[in-house]
Amino acid sequence: MQEQITNAAAVLAALYSRVSVSELVEPAPSAGQRQAIFRAALRAPDHGQLRPWRFLLVEGEDRITIGNVIADVEECCYGPLGESQRNKAAGRLLRAPLVLLVIARITPHAKIPEIEQVMSVAAAVQNMLLAAHASGVGAIWRTGPVTFERLLAEKLGLAPDERLLGFLYLGTPKGELKTAPSLDVDNFFKTWTAP
């Protein structure tokens, strides 16, 4: 019983202190840290056991390749980019040593709508964010308008039934972690009353 209480306290401490870490540097998560983080994703709620999650790992020079694809798609969808805008778009994935493309693979299902499958992928990402934090790895989930452009999904080689839901950046936090804000639970939880 004491071990269960200790484990629960450790889990809650990680939950309560997790923050997004925007400044990430080398080294990337180790093989052991990756296994822990990736296994956590697979415990997300998954109605019908559709396993709608898929993650593509991007490291090294591939971050530049995908950054240039992002910049090309931004120009195609939103118009010409100035040199600094293009450099910013192209360098987006260089903000961390490891980036995961977060993908929802949508399966047509009479009882499980697309939104439930997308929510399952979001829960998988949250599990990874928590596992990363508990493992001492900095992480942040980023999107932006171009993320949801179908053209970007196509250029990245995603299948027609797949949706890009963002980029999960992982690395070593640069500097001290910020403190998680203290929120009042009562501001967000109320007893339902009939209208």
* pLDDT tens by residue, 40-68: 999 999 999 999 999 999 999 999 999 99
- Per-residue model confidence as pLDDT tens digits over 3-39: 666 788 888 988 999 999 999 999 999 999 999 999 9
**Residue 141 belongs to domain with CATH number:** 3.40.109.10
Q: Residues 22, 140: contact at Cβ < 8 Å?
A: yes
For residue 154, being part of any structural domain is answered with: yes
Q: Rounding to the nearest 10 degrees, give the CA dihedral for residues 10, 14, 17, 21.
A: 150
Q: Print the domain residue range for 112.
A: 20-58+94-174
The predicted structure's pLDDT at residue 5:
65
Section 166-178 average pLDDT: 95
For residue 130, being part of any structural domain is answered with: yes
- Per-residue model confidence as pLDDT tens digits over 81-129: 999 999 999 999 999 999 999 999 999 999 999 999 999 999 999 999 9
- Per-residue model confidence as pLDDT tens digits over 127-137: 999 999 999 99
How far apart are alpha carbons 122 and 46 in whole angstroms? Answer: 11
**Residues whose CB is less than 8 angstroms from the CB of residue 52 and which lie 6 or more positions away in sequence, other chains included:** 46, 104, 105, 106, 107, 117, 118, 120, 121
For residue 126, being part of any structural domain is answered with: yes
Query: Residue 24, CB half-sphere, CA atoms under 13 Å: how many?
Result: 28
For residue 145, being part of any structural domain is answered with: yes
For residue 88, being part of any structural domain is answered with: no
For residue 105, being part of any structural domain is answered with: yes
Tally of structural domains, the chain: 1
For residue 134, being part of any structural domain is answered with: yes
Q: How buried is residue 137: exposed, middle or buried, by Cβ count under 10 Å (0-12/13-18/19+)?
A: buried
For residue 70, being part of any structural domain is answered with: no
The predicted structure's pLDDT at residue 1:
60
Identify residue 57 by its one-letter amino acid code: L
pTM: 0.94
